[in-house]
């Protein structure tokens, strides 16, 4: 069995895996990082989105061996200690989650959107999140949350620049 090594949420990990192991399964089953969810088998739902080398990726579209040497961030690695990432805080404040199952992927995807586009319009948010399915919220409050996070992150950057 091949051996894979990668940095996950800042920690170096190294494990033997079956070649067919998906990154999503590797995170959940080998590393017990069960915040990354699996909601489909056709890479449509986006519940498994993580960041690989800073970019959002559906972790079910990648074999674990393809992520060898990469730096991976999962939902568990997003908050700084007890301080929620502004995107997480905005989802809570705007009621952007209900059952919570799509939430980790939704949050990781939205964080990447703001890396590309720090001030997205409603339309841009909706189009970016087209690959993340939520059955509970109707997306209204998710869009609101992403906008709020964009505002608060802009504020943080401005404060940091001063």
Residues that bind another protein (CB under 8 A): 18, 20, 28, 33-42, 44-45, 47, 74-76, 78-79, 84, 88, 91-93, 95, 97-104, 107, 122-123, 125-127, 129-130, 132-143
Nearer to another protein, 61 or 69 (CB): 61
* Residues 27/47, Cβ–Cβ less than 8 Å: no
Nearer to another protein, 14 or 80 (CB): 80
* Alpha-carbon distances, residue 15 vs 88, 109, 137, 148 (angstroms): 30, 27, 38, 39
d(CA 117, CA 125): 9
Least distance CB 27 / another protein (angstroms)? 10
Nearer to another protein, 99 or 156 (CB): 99
Nearer to another protein, 88 or 148 (CB): 88
Strand residue runs (E) in the chain: 3-8, 11-16, 49-52, 55-58, 71-73
d(CA 37, CA 45): 10
* Residues 102/135, Cβ–Cβ less than 8 Å: yes
Least distance CB 161 / another protein (angstroms)? 27
Least distance CB 36 / another protein (angstroms)? 7
Residue 13, CB half-sphere, CA atoms under 13 Å: how many?
Answer: 23
Least distance CB 34 / another protein (angstroms)? 4
């Amino acid at each position: 069995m091949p051996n894979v090594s990668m940095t996950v949420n800042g920690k170096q990990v190294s494990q033997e895996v079956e070649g067919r192991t998906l990154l999503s399964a590797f995170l959940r089953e080998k590393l017990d990082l069960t915040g990354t969810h699996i909601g489909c088998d056709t890479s449509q739902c986006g519940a498994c989105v993580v960041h690989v080398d800073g970019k959002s990726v559906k972790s079910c579209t990648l074999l674990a061996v393809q992520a060898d040497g990469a730096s991976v961030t999962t939902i568990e690695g997003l908050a700084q200690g007890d301080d929620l990432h502004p995107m997480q805080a905005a989802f809570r404040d705007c009621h952007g989650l209900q059952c919570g199952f799509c939430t980790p992927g939704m949050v990781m995807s939205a964080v990447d959107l703001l890396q590309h586009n720090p001030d997205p319009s409603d339309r841009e948010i909706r189009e970016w999140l087209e690959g993340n399915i939520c059955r509970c919220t109707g997306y209204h409050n998710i869009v609101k949350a992403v906008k709020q996070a964009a505002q608060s992150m802009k504020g943080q950057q401005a404060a940091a620049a001063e």
